[in-house]
């Protein structure tokens, strides 16, 4: 069979984008400023410097620079695993018998197994450039911790990873990979921080939480000479670095004379959706095209579909700045769900603003058994075993392709296959054995989370 479009579209190294795109430069309205919870005033650059590398703190606040040159050293790192292919899902299309054309950007071809490496490399490089000694971070599902372990091994920095205790026990292999790359892994809560000791005193048997691990990692960074803290999602700087996904996508689709009608990403903290949509969102913001954007989240943690657009802490320890975003409340405890990377109470302020203003068209909540139905169907035909997080986007893509089958429309669908599921076999086994449950929080559960939203005099009462 002769196909007009190849199965996989690559870019050469020379064609790889050399700039990150900052979507905020094209937004007519910016998200409300971060607020310092100590002063209840908008945050200043200086407030961020004890926590973040200087260059990254600057990127965090920059809503004017449209393109940032990617430093040569980061480009060299990217070249080890980028450009990543766009793949035409011929086999899946055939199985679905749909007139739709389905494309996926595959970001899983690296040892971390996900797109997280794009920002891990950038954040580590800037830390190295600042002559820092080391970095701290947290990890839940483990993809971010792995990406950071790889980047710090490469650039020669120390790394301390606070891994949610129950995850470090459930995912011993993730822990092993992180340690193989030379990082120090500490199950959280731990005795190494005040916040950790406090939690252990009150809850000696807790399995930990992402919010608690964030609090520990931040405390460790600000109290250790030559250390800073890094975060793998939510932040503006992360969206900036992940824009390389969208920039590549747009070039690759142009090469095959395509443009997406629908762009789909999963949404936990926003780095996945923010990455794949970047360059197409620019077109929409500039009024050039009008693609339909869908952010897919787990029904167990329905930040955009059932959350509030409000100021909130980014961590359960209440030590980070306040961000205006869609949130379920920093104290909301998501039910167990196998897409650990999407189990976060908040959402990127940029994505939240774009959703609130109608540029990000739709948020869709889905239950995990249906997500795994889609994952297994996809694996069978496309041979890639997806991460549970990425499988949220697969499910929505299949839903859209099925709509095309009904309507007869040959829409072009693009989704971000952000990672592989090689370290998620516990989840796949639970699914296969029929032991997977669909958790959906009740209105009362949500009310409890909302009750923890902070009061800000004159802004949020």
Q: Residue numbers of the site for a second copy (CB under 8 A)? A: 1, 6-8, 10, 12-14, 72, 76-77, 79-81, 87, 90-91, 109-111, 113, 117, 150, 153-154, 172-173, 176-177, 179-182, 376, 379-385, 420, 422-423, 425-426, 428-429, 432
Tokens of 335: 């039910």
Tell the smallest beta-carbon distance from residue 391 to a second copy (Å): 12
Closer CB to a second copy, 310 or 414, in the complex: 414
The CB-of-151 to a second copy minimum distance in angstroms stands at: 8
Nearest approach in angstroms of CB 36 to a second copy is 37
Q: What is the CA radius of gyration of the chain?
A: 21
Parallel, antiparallel or unpaired: strands 19-21 and 67-69: antiparallel
Choose between 39 and 180: whose C-beta lies nearer to a second copy.
180
Separate counts of helices (H) and strands (E) for the chain: 18, 17
Nearer to a second copy, 82 or 250 (CB): 82
Question: CB of 156: closest distance to a second copy in angstroms?
Answer: 9
Within a 10 A sphere around the Cβ of 320, how many other Cβ atoms? Answer: 22
What's the CA gap between 148 and 157, in Å, rounded? 10
The DSSP line for 30-62 is PPPPPEETTTTEE--HHHHTTTS-HHHHHHHH-
Q: Which is nearer to a second copy, 368 or 420 (CB)?
A: 420
CB of 342 to a second copy, least distance (A): 20
Q: Which is nearer to a second copy, 153 or 333 (CB)?
A: 153
Residues in Cβ contact with 435 at an 8 Å cutoff, skipping those fewer than 6 apart: none
* φ, ψ for residue 322, nearest 5 deg: -90, 135
SS3 149: helix
**Least distance (Å) from a second copy to the CB of residue 300?**
22
In the numeric block, which tokens belong to residue 451?
A: 């009750």
SS3 183: coil
Kindly report the backbone phi and psi dihedral angles of residue 154, in degrees, each rounded to the nearest multiple of 5, phi listed first. -65, -45
Nearer to a second copy, 120 or 212 (CB): 120
**CB 80 to a second copy: min, Å:** 5
DSSP 116: T
Q: Read off the tokens for 317.
A: 């320890």
Closest to a second copy by CB, 64 or 383: 383
Beta carbon nearer to a second copy, 178 or 347: 178
The two tokens of residue 386 are 């997806």
Give min distance, CB of 76 to a second copy, in A.
7
Please state the closest distance from residue 95 (CB atom) to a second copy, in A: 10
Query: How many whole angstroms separate alpha carbon 254 and alpha carbon 251?
Result: 5
Question: Which helix (H) or strand (E) covers residue 166, if one does?
Answer: helix 165-170
Number of other residues whose CB lies within 10 A of the CB of residue 418: 31
The smaller minimum CB distance to a second copy, of residues 49 and 256, is found at: 256
Residue 393 beta carbon to a second copy: minimum distance, rounded to whole angstroms = 18
Give dist(CA 59, CA 77) in Å, integer: 20
300 phi/psi in degrees, rounded to 5: -75, -15
Give the span between the Cα atoms of 267 and 316, in whole angstroms: 19
Q: Give the nearer residue to a second copy in terms of CB position, either 56 or 375.
A: 375
Of 14 and 461, the one with the shorter C-beta distance to a second copy is 14
Q: What is the Cα–Cα distance from 174 to 298, expressed in whole angstroms?
A: 22
- Exposed e or buried b per residue across 425-434, where buried means at least 16 C-beta atoms within 10 angstroms of its C-beta: eebbebbeee
Q: Residue 429 CB, nearest distance to a second copy (Å)?
A: 5
> In 3-state terms, the chain is what percent helix, strand and coil (to 5)?
45, 20, 40
């Amino acid at each position: 069979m002769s196909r007009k479009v190849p199965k996989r579209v690559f870019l050469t190294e020379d064609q790889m984008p050399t700039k990150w795109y900052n979507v905020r430069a094209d937004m007519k309205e910016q998200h409300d400023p971060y607020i310092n919870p100590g002063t209840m005033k908008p945050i200043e650059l200086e407030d961020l410097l004890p926590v973040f590398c200087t260059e990254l703190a600057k990127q965090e606040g920059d809503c004017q620079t449209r393109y940032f040159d990617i430093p040569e050293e980061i480009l060299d790192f990217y070249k080890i695993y980028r450009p990543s292919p766009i793949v035409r899902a011929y086999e899946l299309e055939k199985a679905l018998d749909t007139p739709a054309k389905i494309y996926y950007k595959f970001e899983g071809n690296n040892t971390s197994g996900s797109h997280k490496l794009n920002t891990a490399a950038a954040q580590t490089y800037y830390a190295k450039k600042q002559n820092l000694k080391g970095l701290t971070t947290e990890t839940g599902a483990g993809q971010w911790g792995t990406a950071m372990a790889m980047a710090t091994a490469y650039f020669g920095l120390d790394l301390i990873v606070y891994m949610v205790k129950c995850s470090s026990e459930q995912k011993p292999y993730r822990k092993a990979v992180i340690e193989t790359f030379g990082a120090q892994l500490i199950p959280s809560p731990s005795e190494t921080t005040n916040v950790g000791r406090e939690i252990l005193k009150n809850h000696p048997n807790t399995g930990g939480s992402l919010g608690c691990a964030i609090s520990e990692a931040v405390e460790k960074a600000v109290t250790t000479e030559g250390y800073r803290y890094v975060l793998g999602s939510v932040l503006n700087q992360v969206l900036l670095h992940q824009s390389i996904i969208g920039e590549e996508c747009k070039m690759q689709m142009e090469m095959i004379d395509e443009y997406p009608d629908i762009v789909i990403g999963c949404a936990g903290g926003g780095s996945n959706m923010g990455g794949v949509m970047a360059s197409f969102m620019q077109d929409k913001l500039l009024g050039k095209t009008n693609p339909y954007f869908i952010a897919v989240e787990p029904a167990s943690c329905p930040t955009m579909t059932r959350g509030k657009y409000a100021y909130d802490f980014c961590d359960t320890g209440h030590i980070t700045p306040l961000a205006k975003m869609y949130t379920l409340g920093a104290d909301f405890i998501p039910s167990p769900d196998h897409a650990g990377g999407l189990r976060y109470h908040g959402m990127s302020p940029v994505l939240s603003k774009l959703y609130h203003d109608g540029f990000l068209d739709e948020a869709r909540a889905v239950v995990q058994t249906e997500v795994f139905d889609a994952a297994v169907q996809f694996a069978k035909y496309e041979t890639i075993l997806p991460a549970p997080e990425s499988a949220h986007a697969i499910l929505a893509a299949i839903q859209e392709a099925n709509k095309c089958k009904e309507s007869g429309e040959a829409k072009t669908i693009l989704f971000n296959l952000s990672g592989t599921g090689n370290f998620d076999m516990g989840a796949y086994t639970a699914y296969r054995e029929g032991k997977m449950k669909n958790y959906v929080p009740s209105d009362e559960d949500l009310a409890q989370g909302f009750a923890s939203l902070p009061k800000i005099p004159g802004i949020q009462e």
